[in-house]
Chains A and B, each alone.
Chain A
Amino acid sequence: DIVMTQSPDSLAVSLGERASINCKSSQYIFDNSNKKNSLSWFQQKPGQPPRLLIYWATTRQSGVPDRFSGSGSGTDFTLTISSLQAEDVAVYYCQQYYNLPRTFGPGTRVDIK
């Protein structure tokens, strides 16, 4: 199984400041058939299901604000919130869809400082 790790476990950032979350996979998740990294990022707020933010490691889902961006390749990935807003307080998960079983990172909690 591909193990997904995230760092930090939690972070607190001032409003308008940058927040970055790291995600590492235990093996390469670069799909040679389409030349893309099979990695998603989700945002989950209390009482809500996960919301897809980013797929193929860097593609923003429709309707997601452009302050959210994804980067990285191979085994190391980053989700960046360029200017934190109050509504971004949530837990963020990375997930690989390179193979089965699908696996998620443990989550990173983002709060306002």
Chain B
Amino acid sequence: QGQLLQSGTEVKKPGASVKVSCKSSGYTFRDYYMHWVRQAPGQGLEWMGWIFPKTGGTYYAQKFQGRVTLTRDTSITTTYLELSSLTSDDTALYYCTRENWFFDYWGQGTLVTVSS
């Protein structure tokens, strides 16, 4: 059974960057796309992009292009989301989720709060 374990809560000031990690276990890390989805307080789910661990290839939602970077470290089966130029609108829970065509495994979420 696959598991995704995310890093802990982050508090950042406007204009700063944040890097969230997602450690995969229980499946062949390199073979499955990893997506990132965020959820602002009381709001719905917003897709941000994916990374393919085998190649490092990425695809970003247009809204986040230029501000988001997805990377991975295959030696420790971990993917990373980095989001820069943070504003209060980026305050949200950030989830990693594995694609098996559909999103079958989800991380527990990482709360990022942007506040001055």
Interface set of A (CB-CB < 8 Å, partner B): 38, 40, 42, 49-52, 55-56, 61, 93, 95, 97, 100-107
Contacts and interface: CB of A to CB of B under 8 A. Distances in A.
A97 B102 contact: yes
Interface in B55-80: 59, 61-62
Interface of B: 35, 44-47, 59, 61-62, 95, 97, 99, 101-104, 106-109
B59 A93 contact: no
Contacts of A93: 44-45
- What does DSSP make chain A's interface, helix, strand, loop or mixed? loop
Nearest to A102: B47
Nearest to B47: A102
A103 B47 contact: yes
Given A49-B95, A50-B45, A93-B44, A100 B104 contact: no
A97 B106 contact: no
Contacts of B62: 101
Contact of B44 (A40, A52, A61, A104): A104
Nearest to B106: A49
B45 A52 contact: no
B105 to A, nearest CB: 8
B107 A102 contact: no
Contact of A104 (B47, B101, B106): B47
A100 B59 contact: yes
Given A101-B61, A104-B47, A49 B108 contact: yes
B108 A102 contact: no
A38 B101 contact: yes
Interface hub of A56, A100, A107 (most chain B Cβ within 10 A):
A100
Contact of A40 (B46, B47, B103, B108): B103
Nearest to B59: A100
A91 to B, nearest CB: 8
Given A49-B95, A95-B103, A106-B44, 4 more contacts: A50-B103, A52-B103, A95-B102, A101-B62
A55 B99 CA distance: 12
